[in-house]
Amino acid sequence: MTTMHQEHPTHEHAHGPGCGHTEVAHGDHVDYAHDGHLHRQHEGHWDECEPGGHVTHEGHEHAHGSDCGHEAVPHGDHLDYLHGGHRHAEHQGHYDDH
């Protein structure tokens, strides 16, 4: 899965431990859930950290929802669920890795 490089302009908030936004481990860095987007620090600025393309999470038997025990993170027009080091989003009868 590739991640698109899209700078988040006019981002004046400095994310970090205790900033009030949910931290999401993502590969070799940490994303911060903020206003329906995921931000990551990159070369002195903040990027939108969004996957490029559609990646189905194969073999996902668990149904996410309000009582599933996994943290929900607002992401655009839906919720992602933090599960096993990934963000899962329901999509057309399966879950995607975000």
Decide: pTM greater than 0.75: no
Kind and range of the H or E element at 2?
strand 2-7
How confident is the model over 19-34, as pLDDT tens digits? 888 888 877 888 888 7
| pLDDT > 70 in the chain, percent | 81
The stretch 41-47 carries a mean pLDDT of 80
The stretch 64-91 carries a mean pLDDT of 83
Mean per-residue pLDDT of the chain: 77
Burial class (CB in 10 A: 0-12, 13-18, 19+), 58: exposed
Distance separating alpha carbons of residues 69 and 77, to the nearest angstrom: 21
